[in-house]
Amino acid sequence: MMQLSLRNRYPHVVDDDVIGFDEHMQTLLTELIKDEERRCVVSVVGVGDLGKTTLAKKSYRHDTVKSHFYCCGWSSISQQLNVKVVLEEILKWISLTSSGMNEQDLMKELYNYLQEMTYGMSVTGISCLRPFRRGTEEAKRVNGILELSYHDLPSHLKPCFLYLGRFPEDRPIPRKKLIQLWIAEGFVSHTQENSRETLEDIGKHQYLAELIQRCMVQAGKEPLHPEAKDKHQICRVHDLMLDLCLSKGKEIYFLDVYDQRRQRGNVITYGRLRNGRLRRCAADIIYIDNTYRYKLLVKMSWGLRRAPFNYQNFKLLRVLDLENYLELYDENTTEEVSKLIHMRYLGIRLVPVISSSICNLQNLQVLKLGSFNSHGWLPETVTMMVQLRHLTISRNVSVAENFRVETLVNLQTFSDIPAGEWIRKGCFDNLVDLRKLGVKSTSLLQTNIILEEIVRKRSSSSSSSSSYDQYQNPIRSLCISTSEGFPNSIFESLSCCHNLHSLILAGKLEIVNLQSCPPNLTKLTLKYDISFTEDPMATLEHLSRLRDLDLRNCKYEGEEMVCSSQGFPQLQYLSMYLLPNIKDWRIDQGGMPHLKEIHLDYVPDLRRLPEGLRFITTLEKLKLKDTPLIKERVVEGGEDWYKIRHIPIVDTSYIVLSFKRHDVDGEYEFEADNEDAISTEELEH
């Protein structure tokens, strides 16, 4: 079974509350198991949201189907079909290599393998029937309902909804970025009732929340890219809703779509853009299907090697998002961009030089910069951009010696910033709304200064006379990597930061105990030279709100880890990397009761999986890599099989195939199709 990354329709996601499909299900099952020699295709056709995918999932998971076919597979396909990618994924699923093959070779390889088998392949999301279905009366009714949903929106939500059309189809939309873009475009504003809240909170808890509640946007948590490991808060837009965004946006001149492949010339001039009638401008370059697509004025699909972008043709541009455009720019890029004085959001990387004239962007709220030059500098003139709310630097950028962060009084995000002379007493005094701070390569002295400044901060909403002030520290996310180590009292120092939810520490630190620590931590990452004098599990398990724990290359001389029956009451994600001494791991019954995922990477001496795993019924995924002593124990019939047979996904970093499920005395057992893997992300619980 396999799943393309372009869509989020997984057969293991069960729709338990679905009713009224019994008759359709029986019809579909009858068609699927007909005894015919020829290859057959059974189509489930209809307008969006009728339940086609749900019906396909229920039939796919049916025991009758599983037992009828030698092998079964699942594929979800984007409207931008890439046949080569689909074939490569199918070949991976059946354990065949596809390296270096062209499309014809892939077809031949697949044909040779499957020609003597009975096999079933479920393919969802095919959109070739879209033009047909739109002509039907049923489609007209659905479109009419969607139109009513749009017209029923309050006036302040309509542009927010239409703006979703600027994002590529079938891609997760990062929620934080979406809200930053809304604010940059001027869609989010204060009212008398929420005047003390930040625009970011208003955008999240009011604007986006209402669109989700109205079912016009789907919310979730998943990686932003197929290869990414970290999960982010995202949202998605249904195909039909996206169509509505685009059609309605064109109708009212909110957006337009330009495709260079269908137009002459390679530079769009401002005069061609409806004679200047479009005032709300956005530009993106994104990477899709091995081609660059350039998006201008909310949405554009240009295929190009390099952006033929004449900046002076877009003097009203507010948003320029080139973060995903990986080609190199010339030395004049930021110099040219700095002439776009109405810019509020700028994301650009791989520039050799960051011009000091960038300070001309006095309206800029979001700045995300990166350089491919190891001597790139963030000029001190950036400190003159007092409207900045989010500043993120990456890839080889250093900070100018005279940089003064304290002048950026509206700053909320100051992330991935190299340490420098800007770290001094009082540097954060004026940054009353600073929420996210990330600093790289600090000395011990600089780390101590940062901690002192954070601890004595107060948010803009707290009064100096309030006895509750110590709990109003605004810092929510803190990431520090140090070259000289952390003070041993760092957790105790941060214990007064009641709004601190995410903490990442990278560098030398000896953790003896955690009697005092930030009380509301939900995410903790410890890596590179963090050492535990006692069992890491016993040391951390009392963090009662912790949901995400990531231990990377930490030092512990002991050979056993134990999680007690009361340990980690809220933990959902556990990742451990490079723990070479651990031989035994025990989880007492009742420990980690809400755990969903475990990732173990290079724990070479671990002899067995914990017995307690069989009591954690919430587990959805177990990923094992470089754990050689366990590999043979987790196959069906292996010594640890009974501990994990209830887990839908067990990935041993080998080819992953599907299972047939059997009910045995009320419990689930799986029959593996191969011996190198246990299940896939598409398997049902």
Closest CA to 524 of 466, 457, 479: 479
Q: Read off the tokens for 142.
A: 């659905």
pLDDT value of position 319: 85
pLDDT value of position 575: 94
pLDDT one-digit tens code per residue, 447-459 = 999 999 998 876 5
Closest CA to 604 of 586, 587, 588, 624: 624
Q: How confident is the model at residue 286 (pLDDT cuts 50, 70, 90)?
A: very low
Q: How confident is the model at residue 648 (pLDDT cuts 50, 70, 90)?
A: confident
Residue 639 has pLDDT above 90, yes or no: yes
Residue 127 has pLDDT above 60, yes or no: no
pLDDT one-digit tens code per residue, 569-611 = 999 999 999 988 999 999 999 999 999 999 999 999 999 999 9
Domain spans of the chain?
A: 21-126, 137-254, 536-663
Residue 188 has pLDDT above 60, yes or no: yes
pLDDT value of position 54: 74
Q: How far apart are alpha carbons 488 and 109 in whole angstroms?
A: 59
Q: How confident is the model at residue 255 (pLDDT cuts 50, 70, 90)?
A: confident
Q: Read off the tokens for 317.
A: 């541009």
Q: How far apart are alpha carbons 286 and 80 in whole angstroms?
A: 14
What is the model's pTM?
0.73
DSSP per position, 171-240: --EEHHHHHHHHHHTT-----STTTTS-HHHHIIIIIIHHHHHTTSSEEEEE-SSTT--S-EEEEE--HH
Residue 658 has pLDDT above 70, yes or no: no
Residue 224 has pLDDT above 50, yes or no: yes
For the residues 17-34, what does the mean pLDDT come to?
73
pLDDT value of position 409: 95
Long-range contacts of 308-313 (CB under 8 A, 24+ apart): 308/266, 308/267, 309/267, 309/283, 310/267, 310/269, 311/336, 311/337, 311/339, 311/340, 312/336, 312/339, 313/267, 313/268, 313/269, 313/270
Q: How far apart are alpha carbons 460 and 252 in whole angstroms?
A: 39
pLDDT over 90, % of the chain: 38
In angstroms, the Cα distances linking 541 to 71, 187, 551 are: 43, 43, 13
Mean pLDDT over each residue of the chain, to the nearest integer: 76
In angstroms, the Cα distances linking 378 to 392, 407, 425 are: 11, 15, 21
For the residues 412-421, what does the mean pLDDT come to?
93
Closest CA to 650 of 597, 602, 587, 606: 597
Q: How far apart are alpha carbons 252 and 344 in whole angstroms?
A: 23
More confident residue, 407 or 14: 407
Q: What is the dotted CATH code of the domain comprising 536-663?
A: 3.80.10
pLDDT one-digit tens code per residue, 541-563 = 999 999 999 999 899 989 999 99
Q: Which helix (H) or strand (E) holds 251?
A: helix 239-251
For the residues 404-426, what does the mean pLDDT come to?
93
Residue 16 has pLDDT above 60, yes or no: no
Q: How far apart are alpha carbons 8 and 684 in whole angstroms?
A: 14
Q: Which residue has the tokens 């700045």?
A: 367
In angstroms, the Cα distances linking 148 to 214, 241, 253 are: 12, 12, 19
Residue 132 has pLDDT above 70, yes or no: no
pLDDT one-digit tens code per residue, 27-57 = 888 887 777 766 778 878 765 556 777 777 7
Q: How far apart are alpha carbons 681 and 684 in whole angstroms?
A: 8
Task: Sort 23 into a burial class: Cβ within 10 Å, 0-12 / 13-18 / 19+.
Answer: exposed
Closest CA to 72 of 677, 669, 672, 659: 659
pLDDT over 70, % of the chain: 70
For the residues 272-299, what does the mean pLDDT come to?
38
What CATH fold (topology level) applies to the domain 137-254? Answer: Arc Repressor Mutant, subunit A (1.10.10)
